[in-house]
Amino acid sequence: MSEDFLDLSEPDFEAPPIFADQDERRMHVRAYNYWASLLRGREFPSVTDLDPASLDDFGPHSILLDFTEDRENPRLRYIGTLLREECGLSSADIALDHVPSRSLVSRLTDHFFEIIANRAPIGFEAEFVSQRGNNTLYRGILMPLSSDDDSIDFIYGVINWKELAGAEFEAQLAFEAHEADGDEPIVAHEAEAAVVELEPGDLAGRLAVARANAAAVQTADQRSRAALYRALGNAYDFHLASQDDPEAFAGLLAEAGLKVQARAPLTAVAKLVFGADYDKTRLTEFASALGAAERAGIAAGGFIAFVVSAEGGLKGLVQRERAARAKPAVKQTTETVRARLRATEPLAHLDIASDEEFVLLVAKKSDSGGIDVLEAVPHTKNLLEVALKRLAAR
């Protein structure tokens, strides 16, 4: 590791964290570390210090956007060889509006206004259908650069991807327009499903991406709600991954000076991602939304679809989760189970004679679907009590 990589201690700006060791295998984390190594006490690295063609690791996966001539239609001054090949571009120096719309470069540049608004790196992970018709999973990061140590007039981006061919992957995830809280509706291209690979030991890198997307929530533009959903999706996937690596999660909590509270365990996750100094009311809402997804058994990558399809959107989820947590649990006994069973409509009727009120039956899975009842179990009080206790514990 070079001296420049460590020389981040000048007093003008607080140096961002460097993620090392187990996380350096992630291309976007290595790219972030490289960007941080170029800061040298400045708010942004100087574009003159960047030489993407010399970066054998992620240079072929990167682009350099130049905003000095046209803020609305920046010019790509560098496009890595692998990205040029993916996009079918012969030139490495073209205007943004000449980039094919269904290419990886177009996905990478979708986020550059967030960079300018937040003045910080933005990480993202999503999927789309490429111009070849293959479902493409990608993870990337955009990082601001400057030519005058003040304005953001260059952006360096790195993206890694994986194509999945096959008919089952050919359709893009699309969401119906959904209105909530008086905001503009979220449409398909704004609410992308996060692509998550749950690997133990990747929590710090995942947290870096989640924090970068959480910073984009501050942007007061038409995509702010989509940015919030994306950030919460990252936070939820981070939470799921933390359950597979509790030791790494405990380390991140200790580093941030946070503790998990038994009555609100997901508040710590929200604070890790959005910051402990973030608005307390919003942090509580975010934790409730994450809790609602967990209660519903939502898998990694499914949070955005979950919140968009929920009645009342994010606010509706939060209200229902709070109501569920506030509702006192009713402890069931075998007698309350008996009372419930007496009031329950039967699933089917069998002509089996019995002197007992409740009977245990043995059934097997049917080849045509459903189950086939084979015979009644001879009545044993203890065996019936065990079954009723199991029902009471559900």
State the pLDDT confidence band at 340, using cuts at 50, 70 and 90: confident
Q: Residue range 4-18: average pLDDT? A: 37
* Angle ∠(54,60,63) on CA atoms, nearest 5: 90
Contacts of 59 (CB under 8 A, 6+ apart): 52, 53, 80
pLDDT > 70 in the chain, percent: 76
Within 13 Å and on the Cβ side, how many CA atoms surround 79? Answer: 25
CA angle 366, 371, 376 (to 5 degrees): 120
Phi-psi region of 349 (alpha: psi -120 to 50; beta: other; left: phi over 0): beta
Q: Which residues contact 261 (CB under 8 A, 6 or more apart)?
A: 267, 268
pTM above 0.85, yes or no: no
The DSSP result for 250-279, as a single string, is: HHHHHHHT---BTTBTTHHHHHHHH-TTS-
Q: How confident is the model at residue 172 (pLDDT cuts 50, 70, 90)?
A: very low
CA dist 77 and 81 (Å) reads 13
Q: For residue 31, which of 162, 145, 159 has the smallest C-alpha distance? A: 159
DSSP tag of 343: T
The residue among 7 and 324 whose pLDDT is bigger is 324
Percent of the chain with pLDDT over 90: 12
pLDDT tens, residue by residue, 344-357: 888 888 888 888 88
Per-residue pLDDT tens digits for 244-291 = 888 889 999 998 899 888 888 899 999 999 888 888 889 999 999 999
Q: What pLDDT does 154 receive?
A: 93
CA torsion, ordered 168, 200, 283, 139, to nearest 10 deg: -50
Q: Which residue from 32, 336, 390 is spatially nearest to 204, judged by alpha carbons?
A: 32
Count how many residues are written for the chain: 394
Nearest to 108 by CA among 80, 132, 70, 69: 80
Fill in the amino acid letter for 256. Answer: A
What's the token pair of residue 147? 């030519």
Q: Among the listed ranges 89-103, 137-151, 288-302, 369-383, which one has the minimum average pLDDT value? A: 89-103
H or E element, residue 375 = strand 371-376
User: Strands across the sheet with 154-164, in order?
Assistant: 94-95, 75-79, 62-66, 154-164, 135-145, 122-129
Q: Which of 389, 350, 335, 370 is nearest to 361 (CA)?
A: 350
From 323, 175, 188, 298, select the one nearest 236 (Cα to Cα): 298
- Taking the C-alpha atoms of residue 17 and residue 8, their distance in angstroms, rounded to an integer, is 10
Question: Please, which pLDDT band fits residue 162 given cuts at 50, 70 and 90?
Answer: confident
Dig out the tokens for 377 from the structure: 């179990």
From the number of C-beta atoms within 10 Å of its C-beta (0-12, 13-18, 19+), residue 215 rates as buried
| 46 secondary structure, DSSP code | B
Asked if the model's pLDDT at residue 181 lies above 60, the reply is no
- Across all residues in the chain, what is the average pLDDT? 75
Rg (CA), the chain: 27
**Contacts within 8 Å (CB) and 24+ apart, 319-327:** 320/292, 321/288, 321/289, 321/291, 321/292, 321/295, 322/288, 324/292, 324/295, 325/288, 325/291
Predicted pLDDT at 263: 81
Task: Tell me which DSSP letter residue 17 carries.
Answer: P
Residue 298's SS3 state is: coil
Write out pLDDT tens, residues 77-116.
Answer: 999 888 888 777 776 678 888 877 778 777 766 677 777 7
Distance set, CA 216 to CA 13, 118, 166, 225, 334 (Å): 20, 6, 34, 10, 52
What mean pLDDT comes out for the span 56-68? 89
Look at residue 386 and tell me whether its pLDDT is greater than 70: yes
Q: What is the pLDDT of residues 118-144, one digit of tens each?
A: 788 888 777 777 666 667 778 888 899
Nearest 10 degrees: Cα torsion 203, 205, 211, 214:
-90
Mean pLDDT of 16-43: 70
